[in-house]
Structure 1
Amino acid sequence: MKDLKEIEYHHMVKNRYDDVGCHFLIHPTGTIYEGREIVYKGSHVQNANSGKIGILMMGDFDHQWWDIDDDLSNTNLNALNKLITTLQTFFPIRYLGGHKEYLPNQGYSCPGSEIMAKIDGLRGKYGFVKP
């Protein structure tokens, strides 16, 4: 999903969350939005949200034959790097992982193969470990 209102509707109406489930959302243009305030526990990892900061990369980063907008751009990565660097100055972050790594037996594909291909490099760059 690339539309903030659609994400808000999905989280708050369909899923009945109090707010958007993630703390930050990164739009394909590189704009970083605040979702749920960081002082509140997120709703992004089923039954395991404590101590986690949820970041949603807005878009579809899995290749399918019917669409062409699945690539992770440098704009996306630059915004993610800026956000990680900022968060590291305020929080003792140890882990970095995709949704499917936190919920391995749930059948999730997110954040998508394009982002997952970059996760190990980001872990190494920032000294994070796999969840």
Structure 2
Amino acid sequence: MNIIETNLKFKNSMTNRSTTKRIILHHAEASKCTAEDIHRWHLNNGWAGAGYHFLVRKDGSVYRLRPENKVGAHAQGANSNSIGICFEGAYMTETMPQAQIDAGKELVAYLKEKYDISKVQAHRDVCSTSCPGKNFPFEEIAGTKASNIPVNTTPKPAPAQTPKLSGNDWVRRLQKECNAQGFSRQVVDSIPGKNTLAGCPTCRRGARGNITRLIQERLNGLGYNCGKVDSIFGSRTENAVKTLQKVHGLTIDGIVGQKTWRILLGM
């Protein structure tokens, strides 16, 4: 397996991944991009740098992005035990060239053998997204058996614990509450966009109310345990926020500002 080393410079230290149980496949949603492009985009998001571990380009070349042993930033709630692979291209509309398919198959097979794993998922399997696109040849790259074999240890932290914690409904309730409290006048459409992000207030220890409650629901739903959902931004909520910030390479201050809201919103 020929992997091209990029030696990208990451802004912050990153957490080592303690276990590897699955591979998650993405597309770049860009017809043409380099490893450096992805790294720059993710730095601009306020992240430590490229969130994927590998990039497979259309010509079949494979590049290392985030160090393979580090927790990624590519699938919210599912980063702690996964490796993220990004494929150059926009596969809602494009067709993947054979060289890229072959390289993707080889990389996935190599990682499955290296980590003794069998589970391969599309980004859309773990998050509310269309990634990696309807034209992405998932079965060919992942293998028809691999995509449906369950992990035999701790389940992924991404799924909501109750129906009300599902991504779209949570976003809808957040939008509605931000409007009700006068922080925004946005359309309540369950879609986390720039207007939703702009309408989210900064929250910190000592805050109380429905927005704090929504933050607690989201933290618990993503596996960052803040204890009882009581609408009070106390020490356990602050510590859960700090853990999320550490995992995603943000400033660890326990304050839910725009960069932390972006992670909670899955943007």
Q: Secondary structure at the match of 2:46?
A: coil
> What residue in structure 1 maps to residue 126 of structure 2?
102
After TM superposition, the score normalised by the length of structure 1 is 0.81
Give how far 1:54 is off.
0.2
Tell me the equivalent position of 2:135: 114
1:96 touches 1:119 (CA, 8 Å); kept in 2?
Answer: no
Q: Secondary structure at the match of 1:29?
A: coil
In structure 2, the residue matched to 1:10 is 41
SS at match of 1:54: strand
- Counterpart position of 1:48: 78
Q: Identity, % of aligned pairs? A: 26
Shift of residue 95, structure 1, vs aligned partner: 1.5
**Higher Rg:** 2
Q: How big is each residue's C-alpha offset from its partner over 1:1-27, in whole Å with a ceiling of 9 and x where there is no partner?
A: 2222321121112x2111210000001
Give the aligned CA root-mean-square deviation in angstroms: 1.6
Q: TM-score, normalised by structure 2?
A: 0.41
Question: In the alignment, which of 137, 143, 146 is matched to residue 128 of structure 1?
Answer: 146
1:72 and 1:17 mapped to 2: Cα distance? Answer: 28
Which amino acid is the alignment partner of residue 138 of structure 2?
A: I
The structure whose RCO (Cα within 8 Å, separation 6+) is larger is 1
- Matched residue of 2:107: which SS? helix
1: CA distance, partners of 2:49 / 2:37: 13
Structure 2 residue runs without a partner (length 5+):
1-29, 151-267
Q: Does the CA contact (< 8 Å) of 2:53 and 2:84 recur in 1?
A: yes
The count of aligned residue pairs is 117
**Structure 1: any 5+ residue segments left out of the alignment?**
64-69
